[in-house]
Structure formats: C-alpha cells, structure tokens
Amino acid sequence: MKTTIFQRIERATTFDFGDVLSKSFELFKKIWVEGLIHILLSIAVVLPILLIVYAPLIPLLLNAQETTYASEFNPFVAFPVVWMIGYFILVFALILVLQVFVTSITVHFFRLCKKEDMGIQEPIGGYFSFIKEATFMKIFMLQLAVVGISIAAMLLCYLPLFYVIVPLNLAIVILAFNPKLTVSELLKASFKLGNKFWLLLFAMMLVSGLIAELGIIACGIGILATVSYVHIAMYYVYKDTVGFEETDFEMNNETLKL
C-alpha cells in the first residue's frame, strides 16, 4: 500500500549520526567528480545573472570614484528613487529565477546520489529536466516562500532564523524525490521532518558543512570539489528517515531484470 510522505515522516526513526557521515564519505569518493561538475555548472548559471545585476551599477561606481569627497556624491541624485526601486525588484526577480535553475541542478545531484548508492538504473534526466517535471512556477514559488520565511525570521531578532534554517534546508531534498507535492505540502513536510529531528539535523548540517570546507586546504579552489559532501549527507538523512516507496525498488528491480 502506497504511503504519503507525511505518514513516512510520522513513523520515521532517528538516523545514526556517525553512520550518515561514514556513508556520505564513501559515496563522495565515488561521485566527487560528478559533484564538482554540478557545482561548476551552478557557477556557470550564476555568472551571467551577476553580470546583468552589476552592469547598471558600473556608472555609479565610476562616478563615486571620481568624486573627491564622499559627501559630494549622492546616489539618489545620480539615479532616481523610482529607478532604484525598479532595479531592486528586478534583481530580486532575477535571483529567484536563478535559484530555479540552481535548484534543478541540485535535484539532479540528489537523484544521482540515489542512483549510485542503490546501484539502480533509474533515469534522472538532464541537469535542467526537473524544471519541466516539477514546473518552473512551482520551484519559483517555493524559492519565494523560502525567502519570505527567512526574511520574516530575520525580522524577529534573527533567533528564529536558526530554527527555520533546518526545515528550509530540507525542502530541496524532499522536492527531489516528491516532485508532485505542492509548495504548501513541501513546506509542511520540511517543517514536520525538521521539527522531529531539529537538534540532530542542525548538528549534521554544521558538521557536514565543516567537512565540505576542508577542500579550501587545496589552495582554496579545492572547496569546489568537496562542497557536494553537504548534499550527500542530506541525501542519507532523507533516506534513513523518510526513505523511498517500496514501489520504487520494485520498479527498479524490474528494470534491472530487463
């Protein structure tokens, strides 16, 4: 009988901290090259957007440098308030669009983790195929909701941000394996799982993040090769708590037989 993700979260048992770190390291050794490719692709997507964002600011920066005294330069004179408001709205929209493509790349990596971990012949599509599967607008609205929740938490003296950062970090891995969930269901599932194991999840994110930064030892640029370790750890957290439907295994076994 097929169970909903909420039922699976309800009956989920805690994950073994050391076991997750150990399994993540073993899988990382197998797919670190693919992880590096995913990170480089994300950077390639980000750079053009950054150029679009900062291009209008070049005249502003040049004008500021030519001004002898800071008091002589007023950005509100150089650029009308209406222009600046429109610019910031455009930047905000571009960042959300950028996040849609980065999310698709991240989802692709999560699915690659499952494929390599379980040794299944499961099609995971291209790096951006998930946008079509889950729809662009759903991912866009999810990112908008994440930003909105984060801003609201920051306005409440920052402390609530430490709380929401855990469930919000679960949203993408839950989306990766449950693309049919609505935005509200994704957030509900993320907070349900986050609330259940908040302290352990926070510790896992902290430790895996520190491990992922070890690549900085290799002339700094090495961090690009190790940063994917964080995603691998989150994949195992999801697998060991929520897990996958039995029908997934049955379908994959049939594929292997063929």
d(CA 167, CA 171): 7
Q: How confident is the model at residue 74 (pLDDT cuts 50, 70, 90)?
A: low
Tell whether the model's pLDDT for residue 213 goes beyond 50: yes
pLDDT at 242 over 50: yes
Please name the residues in contact with 195: beta carbons below 8 A apart, sequence gap of 6 or more: 167
- Are the CB atoms for 100 and 143 separated by under 8 Å? yes
Distance CA 161, CA 159 (A): 5
Q: Please report which confidence band the pLDDT of residue 61 belongs to, taking 50, 70 and 90 as the band edges.
A: low
Residue 50 in this model has a pLDDT that exceeds 90: no
In angstroms, rounded to a whole number, what is the distance separating the alpha carbons of residues 1 and 235?
A: 24
In whole angstroms, give the CA distance from residue 29 to residue 247: 29
What pLDDT is attached to residue 214?
84
Cβ(205)–Cβ(169) under 8 Å? yes
